[in-house]
Amino acid sequence: MKHQTEARGKFASKAGVVLATAGSAVGLGNIWRFPYETGMNGGAAFILIYLLCLIALGLPAMLCEFVVGRRAQRNATRAYGGWPWKLTGCLGVLTGFLIMGFYSVVAGWTLQYIFASVAGQLHGDVDYIRQYFNDFVANPWKSVFWTVFFILLTHVIITRGVQRGIERASKVMMPLLFLLLLLLVVCALLLPGSSEGVKFLLRPDFSKVSADTVFDALGQTFFSLSTGMACLVTYASYFDRDVHLVRSGVQIAVIDTMVAVLAGLIIFPAAFAVGVQPDAGPSLIFITLPNVFGQAFAAVPVVGWLMSIIFYILLMLAALTSIISMHETPTAFVAEEFHLSRRIAALLVTLPAMVVGVLSSLSLGSVPSLRLFGMTLFDSLDYITANVLLTLGGLLTLLYVGWVMPRGDVHEQISNGGRLRARYFPVFMFLVRYISPICMALIFLHQLGAF
């Protein structure tokens, strides 16, 4: 039992709780998806809808995972109780592990681009940068090397434990991430013509709002907060009993949204300053933006050079804080279920994650025959986790807290054992029982193409 005690850590401070959990939520999706969705769906109109979806789905889903995790004080597979609900925790562990595998491929790209930026290799027109990206991804050694390196970097942090590893790293990386964000925002806003980008992002245009806008906002809300893959359940199992779950959830949601909006205040002003229309996904940050930085600061090349370096360091930090939580979830499971030390458990997660990451990387370049369901292995894992496993895990968690867990147990967690008045509890339970599951079910059906 000694090893199991070693594996069950605790966050040492409330700041550590918020920063580590916010780090889990803040990821590449905040930077390459949210700004684009906002700009294409009515600017401030989309942000308003997003905030409403945050209240209806995002926060309730996050708080449900907090309730499940802190109540159990155990890994995700045991946090949901007996069968068949235990399968929800197993599903979350599997989902987080699979996402860690292929997400590390993209995370590794950020490391390559940091070095490429330092070496001045990203200067040129968009065709040159596109070819640079394609050649890099197709190279069987470079992409694989950075994928493995990133997983090993995560492994080192995880082996140091909850306080000395996850919490200490989050207290350094999250403030640094915000500092870099603000620095890049200032640089972008100082560009001539940047005001048009700010207007495009933040001016409400309700004529662009449609049913798809609502679904996009719901999906962005859910995925942005890292719900549905048991990471928050695992982190909440390290919370002390005096942690204010609702207050912490609101703080995390605010941080996550601020990062996304600030990313938009970098991307759109810079893009509009050089007359480039930003797109979404990896092409935005690995093809479009290097060219934008080069053009925007052509008069002062050293500024464009520094901005590129800082931007990819920012991306690396966002990816790392997310992957740490994805690694911790299966590591806690292996350590506690098999009574192993954290170091051995982390190694047993790292090695197969490397296999998934390497195969996913190769499927995009030198070994395109690595396919599943007619797609590259990378794309198929992305599709399965995002469209099926995550939404299913989130829906099952909402149903478990709303309809299976005793109402008194839920109230005990929300009110910290009755020490908080929690007048909002009836509203919370109404959302968890009815509104949030309906929203989640609609996301699930929409992503499967039902309507």
CB 196 within 8 A of CB 274: no
Give backbone dihedrals phi and psi of 421, rounded to 5 degrees, phi first. -70, -40
> First-to-last CA distance in the chain?
51
Q: Is the CATH code 3.50.50 the one for domain 2-447?
A: no
Q: How many CB atoms within 10 Å of residue 389? A: 20
3-state SS assignment for residue 371: strand
Give Cβ neighbours of residue 230 (< 8 Å, ≥ 6 apart). 65, 76, 79, 89, 91, 92, 93, 95, 96, 329, 393
pTM for the whole structure: 0.94
pLDDT tens, N- to C-terminus, the chain (451 residues): 344 445 478 999 999 999 999 999 999 888 888 888 888 888 899 999 999 999 999 999 999 999 999 999 999 999 998 889 999 999 999 999 999 999 999 999 999 999 999 998 888 778 888 899 999 998 889 999 999 999 999 999 999 999 999 999 999 999 999 999 999 999 999 888 899 989 988 889 999 899 889 998 998 998 889 899 999 999 999 999 999 999 999 999 999 999 999 999 998 898 888 887 776 677 788 988 888 888 888 778 888 899 999 999 999 999 999 999 999 999 999 999 999 999 999 999 999 999 999 999 999 988 888 998 899 999 999 999 988 999 999 999 999 999 999 999 999 999 999 999 999 999 999 999 999 999 999 999 988 877 6
State how far the Cα of 144 lies from the Cα of 157, in Å rounded to an integer: 21
